[in-house]
């Protein structure tokens, strides 16, 4: 590619998108859980009065990639083959999740987007993208972290992710409403949450992580959660995406 990556909002078949996935997978040597291994039993969700089971984290940048893949096993091998790209891409963590329709979501935690762009435009990356298992098509959102909190203790068992993509007119008001609901999130088992803003400054991505899918489903129905979503523009209130987390590497 001759131009650096920017926010993309259309379904595309482009090597730069697949590169983001390759960089995300580069941290495989630092996974919290071994692929294919049976996870231990997840701990019980905190009670409503227990307070959040997460803590603020340093802010950087995040890239969200939604892949359409025809062969998940082949994609995972492709994913795991990207370890050599990690340092060049400045990615220091990731979470790979699978939607019910078979698509794959990758959340990349990056220190420096300029380094990511340089790595994605490298000859080495272009050769890597021609390998078997590369995604068929992808959607990408490049964001800056606005508010992130990670688990106080890295999760040892199975987790699930809830994603929203929303259009927000008043970012300050939305950030305040997002952060003041930490106890509500914790009451539904959330152990990590993030608010991320795209370069347009109107589109945000929300990401919640919990040890059980039904906990996240109940969060979406909680009356206390509705006022947060109400701050999004009606035409920009996207549907929630619930995914099963497959691989992860905690940001350092």
Q: Where in the chain does DSSP place strands (E)? A: 54-56, 61-68, 91-99, 104-110, 137-151, 160-168, 192-198, 203-210, 232-237, 241-249
Per DSSP, the three-state class of 169 is: coil
pLDDT at residue 6 in the model: 38
**What tokens were used for 110?**
């990056």
- What Å distances lie between residue 134 and 16, 22, 69, 221, CA to CA? 11, 9, 8, 36
Domains of the chain: 15-34+48-246 (3.30.70.100)
Nearest residue to 97 (alpha-carbon basis) of 225, 219, 249, 247? 247
pLDDT of 72 above 70: yes
Average pLDDT over residues 195-218: 93
Q: Considering the entire predicted model, what is its pTM? A: 0.77
Average pLDDT over residues 150-171: 92
pLDDT at residue 205 in the model: 95
Tell me which DSSP letter residue 235 carries.
Answer: E
pLDDT at residue 237 in the model: 66
Residue 120 · residue 127 · CB < 8 Å: no
pLDDT at residue 50 in the model: 59
pLDDT at residue 134 in the model: 64
pLDDT tens string 105-135: 989 888 877 777 677 677 877 777 666 666 6
pLDDT at residue 86 in the model: 61
pLDDT at residue 36 in the model: 36
Q: How far apart are CA 210 and CA 32, in angstroms?
A: 15
End-to-end CA distance of the chain: 30
pLDDT of 239 above 50: yes
Give me the percent of the chain exceeding a pLDDT of 70: 71
Average pLDDT over residues 42-66: 71
Q: How far apart are CA 65 and CA 109, in angstroms?
A: 12
């Amino acid at each position: 590619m001759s131009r650096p990556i920017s926010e993309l909002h259309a379904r595309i078949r482009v090597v730069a998108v697949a590169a983001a996935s390759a960089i995300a997978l580069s941290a495989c040597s630092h996974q919290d859980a071994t692929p294919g291994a049976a996870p231990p039993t997840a701990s019980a969700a905190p009670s409503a009065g227990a307070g959040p089971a997460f803590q603020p984290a340093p802010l950087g940048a995040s890239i969200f990639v939604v892949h359409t893949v025809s062969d998940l096993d082949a994609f995972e091998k492709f994913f795991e083959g990207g370890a050599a790209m990690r340092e060049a891409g400045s990615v220091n963590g990731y979470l790979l999740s699978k939607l019910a329709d078979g698509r794959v979501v990758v959340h990349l935690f990056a220190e420096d987007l300029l380094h990511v762009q340089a790595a994605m435009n490298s000859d080495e990356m272009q050769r890597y993208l021609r390998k078997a298992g590369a995604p068929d098509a992808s959607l990408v959102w490049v964001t800056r972290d606005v508010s992130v909190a990670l688990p106080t203790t890295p999760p040892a068992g199975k987790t699930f992710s809830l994603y929203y993509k929303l259009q927000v007119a008043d970012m300050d008001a939305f950030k305040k409403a997002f952060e003041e609901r930490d106890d509500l999130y914790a009451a539904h088992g959330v152990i990590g949450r993030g608010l991320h803003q795209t370069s347009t400054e109107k589109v945000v991505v929300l990401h919640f992580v919990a040890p059980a899918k039904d906990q996240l489903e109940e969060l979406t129905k909680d009356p206390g959660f509705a006022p947060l979503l109400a701050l999004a523009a009606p035409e920009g209130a996207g549907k929630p995406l619930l995914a099963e987390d497959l691989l992860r590497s905690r940001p350092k």
